[in-house]
Amino acid sequence: MDINRKLKDVKSWPKKTGKADYLKYLNGERLTRAEAIRATCYECVQGEDTNPCMANTCPLIGYCQWNQDVDTQK
């Protein structure tokens, strides 16, 4: 997908934790580890409301910002 189109699509997604980090990534900026995790989660759900995250097979599930109050060791 063309990067300009992807940027336009992402800008139309809802404002939520990770959006700024994902846009930073798409603009070619370096991310910290925490920013990369937030950006990955945001891209995965495309800005949808996921509290808690239901992607149980994701290797980042333990770090997901939407699972802070949920026991993910089920």
* pLDDT tens per residue, range 26-60: 999 999 999 999 999 899 888 887 777 778 788 88
Residue 73 lies in a domain: no
Residue 43 lies in a domain: yes
Tell me, what's the pLDDT at 47?
A: 80
Q: How confident is the model at residue 1 (pLDDT cuts 50, 70, 90)?
A: low
Q: Which of 8, 14, 7, 58 is nearest to 37 (CA)?
A: 58
Total domains present in the chain: 1
In the chain, which residue ranges form alpha helices assigned H by DSSP? Answer: 3-12, 19-26, 33-45
Residue 47 lies in a domain: yes
Residue 16 lies in a domain: yes
